[in-house]
Chains A and B, each alone.
Chain A
């Protein structure tokens, strides 16, 4: 399993940049959370995915969007230390569902293990879970990477 740092998002709408920061940190990149936050162009309604991805690219990171879900692609990327970041419908507010970005750290035949920034822990999600919609909901996720900096994985806290 890819031991992406377990980290809690600093506010309710920041799951997206928190996941990005966690993956970059896992890849031993020396990056401040604020850099990621600024690149994602966040506001109180979250980010616009295309703007955020463009911002991350302009900040110097490679971004690859997963157009169609293919387990092989995700597994190969995991082997290359490129875990997939994906948004899943996870929380309910009244009758409304909130989508939530998580990092897929392991993908097996029957379940995915994700780093969930809402709780800052690894969580197992059965692939039969309707949230994954047979894997269809994993399309639209993205990989991020860049030039790795050799060294130990920094502490799992998105702080200065």
Chain B
């Protein structure tokens, strides 16, 4: 059986009719729906940060996650916000797709990495 992610709205949940047709659930047929809450955008943001802090650099800026085509997309910028340095893709459970997401190397590729200056006295 297919598994889909839909957004909870004030009017409830909307299951696309094409999906019902796909599984042979003609009008009048009873279907079972198991409801499970998935991470919110703020949860995804924190999970993306934890991933970035552990694998890419803990001073990167992270965009507000966008849910696009069944996955969360988080863009990364340099600490001063001057350049886009990569993207993280996370599934609906907040797991990072490491094959497609930014890596330590890709974040630093082509960008001068300077040691921060010594603190002032």
Contacts and interface: CB of A to CB of B under 8 A. Distances in A.
A72 to B, nearest CB: 22
Contacts of B42: 130, 133
B113 interface: yes
Contacts of A46: 53, 57-60, 79
A13 B53 CA distance: 12
Contacts of B62: 89, 96-99
Contacts of B80: 12, 93
Given A13-B116, A98-B79, A45 B53 contact: no
Contacts of B117: 10-11
Interface stretch (B1-9, B10-18, B24-32, B43-51): B43-51
A110 B85 CA distance: 37
A47 interface: yes
Interface string B49-79: 1100111111111111000000000011111
Which of B78, B108, B118, B121 neighbours the largest number of chain A CB atoms within 10 Å of its CB? B118
Given A42-B116, A44-B113, A96-B61, A50 B121 contact: no
Contacts of B49: 87, 89, 99
Nearest to A18: B119
27 contacts: A10-B117, A10-B120, A12-B59, A12-B80, A13-B59, A13-B79, A33-B119, A37-B116, A42-B115, A42-B116, A44-B116, A45-B57, A45-B85, A45-B108, A48-B104, A87-B49, A89-B45, A93-B80, A94-B77, A95-B64, A96-B61, A96-B76, A99-B59, A136-B46, A140-B50, A140-B53, A160-B121
Given A45-B85, A93-B81, A97-B63, 6 more contacts: A10-B118, A94-B77, A97-B61, A130-B42, A133-B43, A159-B119
4 closest Cβ pairs, A-B complex:
A45-B57, A46-B59, A93-B81, A10-B119
